[in-house]
Amino acid sequence: MDISSLSLNELRRLQTKVEAEIRRRSDTAKKDLLKRMQKLAAEHGMSLNEVLGQEASEKPAAAPKKAAAAKPVKKAAKPVSVVKFRHPENPAIGWTGHGRKPQWVIDWLAQGKALDELRADAAALTAA
């Protein structure tokens, strides 16, 4: 087949047909291989799942479900971060000192002022 004489639309249609045929043949090859593997496992008195070790892994799979159920408990038990620094003009705005510095902290430091001047005292923590 000489594809150099085909138009762009014809090439795109051909491409679609080729991709569909590749998917079809791939699916057929997978199904055939699966059947042959199941037959071979049966000849040895096992199921394909036993050969692949899936039955053994299904029992421990129940344990991660329990662990997944326990995760929200761990998250709920996680302590809430305490605000360590307060905005100089608006004490309702705070920063825990973790993660990226807020722009107001960056601006404060750019003015040559010390970060300790922004520290939230115990009275400000109880008021907020």
Residue 112 token pair: 């040559």
- Shared-domain flag, residues 15 and 71: yes
How many folded domains does the chain comprise?
Answer: 2
Give residue 103's domain range: 85-127
CB 125 within 8 A of CB 82: yes
Looking at the fold, whether 90 and 109 belong to one and the same domain comes out as: yes
Report pLDDT for 125.
47
15 and 69 belong to one structural domain: yes
Same domain, 68 and 122: no
Q: Residue 71 corresponds to which tokens in the numbers above?
A: 């995760």
**Same-domain status, 100 and 69:** no
pTM of the model: 0.37
pLDDT along the chain (128 residues), means of 10: 90 94 96 93 87 64 52 65 88 88 92 89 50
Q: What is the pLDDT of residue 126?
A: 45
Specify whether 63 is located in the same domain as 117.
no
Q: What is the CA radius of gyration of the chain?
A: 32
> Do 71 and 31 sit in the same domain of this protein?
yes
Q: 42: helix, coil or strand?
A: helix
